[in-house]
Amino acid sequence: MSATRRETRLWLALLLALLLIYVVWPGLDLPVSAWFYRPDSGFWVDDQPWVQAVHHTVPWIGRLLLVGSLAGWLLGSYGRRPGLRQLRRPAAALFLGLVFGLGLLAHGALKEHWGRARPLQVSQFGGTAAYTPPWQPATQCQRNCSFVSGHAGTGFALIALGTLGTVRSRRRWLIAGWSTGLLLGALRIAQGGHFLSDVLFGGLLLWGTSLAIRACWTRWRLRRWHKLQPINTKKATT
């Protein structure tokens, strides 16, 4: 419990720090994206074949993770081999993280309704839309907008694999998830598809989803333990 509290406090501290940075410096995203922009060729990284290959592959990896996590949970729950039981918790946590964090929150709530234009759409990089800071809902984009990054979120979703594990497992998957998410996010920034804040807030969103899943699971376990206590006490006395 103490490790979970420390992790939650770290998440809150990073969230508040990131919000403060963008309140003080709302245009921070623009100079970061400008590193990858050329007036004569735009976001030239996007023209690389291998970049396009990664861009089109990542969503399919996300779908495979979703199907694989569901299959892993079913095998862990109903499989007869003892080793399969170990798949149940990480698979269930990954499935919930993908459905709620990446699916409902990132794609369903934010990307479809926040209205933030992508870098290649704003006037600073040859587009016609206005740049808006990440904390401000906008009307510069109609659908599948910039805030937050779905591609980076697929990498950040790996954090969920350690959600219901030991402290060491949580740390290992936290590092793996952030490393993968930042790598994919950096590629999307270079393509002009997302701002830096889209990636960072997306990472905190997926991490926060994992923390919420663990909190619900822990509360469920405690309630179940309290319900079993009278039964165990009765058996001990008889």
Amino acid occupying residue 95: F
Model confidence band, residue 237 (pLDDT cutoffs 50, 70, 90): low
Contact between 183 and 146 (Cβ < 8 Å) = no
Q: Write out the two tokens for 99.
A: 């459905």
Extract the tokens encoding 143.
Answer: 């659908």
Overall average pLDDT of the 94-102 stretch: 97
Q: Determine the pLDDT at residue 230.
A: 61
Structural domain including 56 reads 2-226
pLDDT at residue number 231: 53
pLDDT score of 83: 76
Nearest in space to 122 (alpha carbons), one of 203, 40, 200, 27: 27
* Domain annotation covers residue 238: no
Number of domains in the chain: 1
Please report whether residue 207 resides in a domain: yes
pLDDT, tens digit, 9 for 90 and up, residues 162-218: 999 999 999 999 999 999 999 999 999 999 999 999 999 999 999 999 999 999 988
Residue 233 lies in a domain: no
| pTM, two decimal places | 0.91
| Least confident among 18-27, 66-75, 80-89, 135-144 | 80-89
- Report H helices in the chain: 2-24, 29-34, 49-78, 88-96, 112-113, 150-156, 167-191, 196-237
